[in-house]
Structure 1
Amino acid sequence: MKGLRQRILNGMLEHGIAMEYAEKIYQTIVGFSSYGFPESHAASFALLTYASCYIKQHHPDLFVCSLLNSQPMGFYSPRALIDDAKRHGVRFFDVCIQSSDWDCKPSVHKPLALRLGFNSLYGVPKQEVLKMLEERQRHGAFKDLKDLVRRCPFLRRQTLLKFATAGALKSFQMEPRLAAWKIMSLNINPQSLFFTQSEEGHSQQLLPHEGDWDFIEREYQSKGFSIHRHPMDLFRKQLDQERPRSLRAKDLKRTPGGRNLSIAGLLALHQRPPTAKGFSFLTMEDETGSFNVILTPDIYEKYRLDLVFYPLLKIHGRIEKKSGVIHIKDQHLEPLKPPQTA
């Protein structure tokens, strides 16, 4: 500001402002410059960035736990946050009717580990869950499914089915499909003479086997992610056998720029800013990390319906590297269909 003082004062004097008043205006500007934009914004964002980086580096479990409990927010989905945390050594335990709270929480007994909360499940009413947790706190763990229904008659069948589908009832020694089958046959009307009794109309042995793809599909339908497997795991054997072989996200750092390649992944984010002259930007992910894809306007128009209906895609394009930034300029994409053998 000292270097600008005389210039500012001369300009005001030329416009008929008295020297005394011009000096007061200048001092006001000097005062604002010590805390005003952009220094204050830069300092505050730098502090937030430093604190976030420190916590993520030294306490990654607490960092991701806080972000998961603050959803919906930010740029990254819970799936992306969880996958990144797992790559940094954080372990996750699934939602459990006996151990989970509403929020995700750090594991008491295991370092760098989180227990997912009921807030991770799609469409579960918070008030019902909180009443159930209060009952569990007062009278202890639930013995079995009938005990849960008997002590929590306010739980709707739809809520119980969401628990079952997410695998939250495994402590009752029931896999998710069996738990859902039992819930559908259970009388949950507390006014009924047959409350908590089952109508055993079909043998549980007739329940179809849950294949790998069925498992992934159920996980994503109930939570939007899986802590057990990434969908690309099911395609990897097939992709490794193709020629040319599809790369993984982790392979891109050592792949020379300008090379044509194939790579497949799950569509995590699609952006098409109005200021980008029709270009689209994809963030894709596989079991090893994430990568960015640029679509030219003509490529986007050609494949825009695939981007809507097929979240798993195989990309054929050219890798470009500049100033440490890696992206793939897409030339062709194709949907990945669920593996027939999974």
Structure 2
Amino acid sequence: MYASAWLKYHFPAAFACALLANQPMGFYSPLSLVSDARRHGVRVRGVDVNASGARPGLEPYRGPTPAPPLTAGRPQPAIRLGLETVRGIGTPQAEAIVAGQPYAGLEDFARRTGLPAPVLEALATAGAFDCFGLTRRQALWSAGAFAGISAELLPGTTPGTEAPELPGMSPVEETIADLWATGTSATSHPLQHLRAHLERGGALSAAQLPDVPAGRAVVVGGLVTHRQRPPTAGGVLFLSLEDETGLIKVICNRPVWESQRRTALDRAGLLVHGHIERDRGATNLIATRLTPLRIGL
């Protein structure tokens, strides 16, 4: 545990990349790992058919400032998500794509890889064709036309590949597209799009809870990352919620979660009412009421 903590502190990009490259494993989902890395100053880049490896890798930092972010006094590289994260792509297909890099355009990519329409569309949804100067909607339009392209056709003669003028995806739509296509997002978290709505309802973020006095009643909202009900806990249900600022530890005593069993055990997002508890420096939320968080993005 000490070695892991040392690596995460001194080399957060490499540490997070190693965890992502060895999924499925451990306690946290790729979305949680990527969100945590971003909160610690690590730049994460999305899938790119000309830049991604089969699995996540590290790249030199290229950003708006000439110097890369520093952690523990060390410059940090960026994480590039791997092709294996895209829906429908296995290791052989990802390695074949990497072997053919670089590609001149979407038609060249489709012709040389021979991937079926669902995989091309998943790559387009993930923004993997941005390197060709295409928006995600333009790439989705063209991907279907290029799928199964015949080698007998001359390049540039495939009909129906030029997309009409299409509006770009909104930030919310891009987050949904990322989650559908890869299970994570390099640039956003679903809860950040709900923050204004949550604040209007008086909900606090994970980052605000350490400043709240013990015993005060609060409400929080987040995605449920873990549910645990160990036999030794006397019927207590432990929940972990995640928002765009961090993780929230929630303790649900038996009367609370049993009276709201379906909400506690089945919902992907929750609004939790409760009061703050401090335990040896840790901040917990003792739940008194659970309601579904309807993420109607």
The superposition leaves residues 55-88 of structure 1 with CA deviations (integer Å, 9 ceiling, x where unpaired) of 1111111111111111111111122222221122
Other structure's SS at 1:281 match: strand
Query: Is 2:91 aligned against 1:126?
Result: yes
TM-score between the two structures when normalised by the length of structure 2: 0.86
Q: How does 1:189-204 map to 2 (within 5 A)?
A: 189-190=149-150, 193=153, 198-200=158-160, 204=164
Q: Confirm or deny: 8 A CA contact 1:314 1:336 kept in the other structure.
A: yes
Residues 1-342 of structure 1 mapped to structure 2, 5 A cutoff: 49-110=1-62, 111-112=75-76, 113-136=78-101, 141-153=102-114, 155-190=115-150, 193=153, 198-200=158-160, 204-205=164-165, 210-242=169-201, 245-307=202-264, 309-338=266-295
Q: TM-score, normalised by structure 1?
A: 0.76
Distance 1:213 1:307, change over 3 A: farther
- Counterpart code for 2:214: G
Structure 2 residue runs without a partner (length 5+): 63-74
The equivalent of 1:6 in structure 2 is: none
Shift of 1:299: 2.4
Report the Cα distance in structure 2 between the residues aligned to 1:55 and 1:120, rounded to whole angstroms. Answer: 24
Shift of 1:282: 0.7
Matching residue's letter, 1:94:
G
Runs of at least 5 residues in structure 1 that lack an aligned partner in the other structure: 1-48
Task: Provide closer, same or farther for how the CA distance between residues 186 and 247 of structure 1 changes in structure 2, counting only shifts above 3 A.
Answer: same
- Give the percent of matched residue pairs that are identical in Structure 1 and Structure 2: 33
Query: What is the CA RMSD across the aligned residues, in angstroms?
Result: 2.4
User: Relative contact order (alpha carbons < 8 A, sep ≥ 6): 1 or 2 greater?
Assistant: 2
8 Å contact from structure 1 (residues 257, 320) kept in 2: yes
Q: Which moved more, 1:268-277 or 1:226-235?
A: 268-277
Give yes or no for contact 2:87–2:119 (8 Å, CA) kept in 1.
no
Say if 1:337 and 1:134 are closer, same or farther in 2 by CA, change over 3 A. same
1:231 deviates by 1.2
- Return the letter of the residue paired with 2:133: Q
Rounded to whole Å, the distance in 2 between the matches of 1:288 and 1:191 is 50
For 1:72-127, what per-residue CA distance to the aligned partner results, in whole angstroms no more than 9, with x for missing partners?
A: 11111122222221122111111111111112111135442111111332331221
